[in-house]
Amino acid sequence: MFKAIFKAIFGFVQFAANRIRAWIPQVAASLILFGYLEDALQAMLQLRMHAHHMAMLMNGWETIGVIYMLLDIAIILTGTVLIGCSCNCNDGSGNGVAMLWLQRTLRTLAFSIWDYELLLHYCVDVGCLLLLLLAMRQSQRQATAGVCWQHDRQQQRSLQRLLSVARIGMCCVCLLWIVEPHQIINKPFAVACFILMLLGIRCKLLASLMIAPLLWQANGSLIWGWNDLTISLQFISSMLSKVAGLLLLTRLGGGKWSLDALINRTTKSPLNTGV
* Whole-number Å distance between alpha carbons of 65 and 55: 5
What per-residue confidence (pLDDT) applies to 192? 92
What per-residue confidence (pLDDT) applies to 68? 80
- Give residue 270's pLDDT band: very low, low, confident or very high (50, 70, 90): very low
Q: Taking the model in full, what pTM does it have?
A: 0.80
- Give residue 88's pLDDT band: very low, low, confident or very high (50, 70, 90): low
Residue 238 Cα distances to 27, 74, 201, angstroms: 15, 20, 26
- Based on its alpha-carbon atoms, the radius of gyration of the chain, rounded to whole angstroms, reads 21
What per-residue confidence (pLDDT) applies to 149? 44
Q: Exposed, middle or buried, 113 (CB in 10 Å: 0-12/13-18/19+)? A: exposed
Over residues 192-225, the pLDDT tens digits come to: 999 999 888 888 889 889 998 888 887 776 655 5
Q: What percent of the chain lies above the pLDDT cut of 70?
A: 75
- Give residue 180's pLDDT band: very low, low, confident or very high (50, 70, 90): confident
- Give residue 21's pLDDT band: very low, low, confident or very high (50, 70, 90): low
Average pLDDT rounded to a whole number, residues 98-104? 85
The answer for 29, left when phi > 0, alpha when psi is -120 to 50, beta otherwise, is: alpha
User: How high is the mean pLDDT of the chain?
Assistant: 78
Average pLDDT rounded to a whole number, residues 28-32? 86
Helical H runs in the chain? 2-45, 47-58, 62-85, 93-111, 116-143, 149-170, 172-179, 187-199, 203-221, 229-252, 259-267, 270-273
Over residues 57-68, the pLDDT tens digits come to: 667 677 777 888
